[in-house]
């Protein structure tokens, strides 16, 4: 099993983004996933198969504003996942993506403090745009990753699971 979960964000428009910043974000958010998979797939093939779960984002299909590079790379992760699923199904390797929405992480907690708010005050507004009217938790995302990585999802490959409280369906 391989779980690719890395990412960096840059807050720029396409006009402001430099070639160097594009190279940096592509290296982490896309190429890092591809090269980890490149190393893992031969071992999975030798072992009779396996599972890869790539962590993308709802930003793969919903623009965040002022994050053109992040949004682009997360869309690339979903495309990478589908392409690898097709290429390596014959090897018994399943590949899926998880696309979290508003998740209250330590990053968000630090942003709340920096904005002069308590975590509870921040959470009251963060995630309000979802059907469930709240942010998700890292444990809720991890449970979905665990399910996709397990044999319980043996007939699931090439899919993107949105863990977003229904955000993208509104």
Backbone angles phi, psi at 97, to 5 degrees: -125, 145
Q: Which one of 11, 33, 70, 155 is the catalytic residue?
A: 70
> Residue 103 pairs with which residues in a beta bridge?
136
- Report the SS3 class of residue 136: strand
Q: Is 155 a catalytic residue?
A: no
CA distance 53 to 5: 8
The owner of tokens 């160097």 is 20
> Which alpha helices (DSSP H) does 47-162 contain, by range?
68-88, 106-114, 119-125, 138-149
Tell me which residues are annotated as active site: 70
């Amino acid at each position: 099993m391989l779980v690719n979960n890395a990412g960096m964000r840059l807050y720029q428009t396409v006009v402001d983004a430099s070639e160097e910043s594009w190279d940096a974000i592509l290296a982490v958010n896309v190429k890092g996933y591809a090269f980890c998979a490149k190393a893992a797939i031969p071992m999975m093939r030798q072992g009779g198969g396996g599972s890869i779960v790539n962590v993308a984002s709802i930003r793969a299909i919903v623009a965040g504003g002022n994050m053109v590079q992040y949004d682009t790379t997360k869309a690339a992760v979903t495309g990478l996942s589908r392409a690898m699923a097709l290429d390596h199904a014959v090897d018994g390797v399943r590949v899926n993506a998880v696309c979290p929405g508003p998740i209250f992480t330590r990053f968000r907690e630090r942003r709340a403090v920096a904005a002069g708010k308590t975590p509870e005050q921040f959470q009251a507004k963060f995630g309000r745009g979802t059907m469930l009217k709240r942010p998700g938790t890292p444990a809720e995302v991890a449970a979905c990753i665990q399910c996709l990585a397990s044999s319980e999802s043996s007939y699931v490959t090439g899919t993107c699971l949105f863990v977003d409280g229904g955000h993208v369906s509104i």
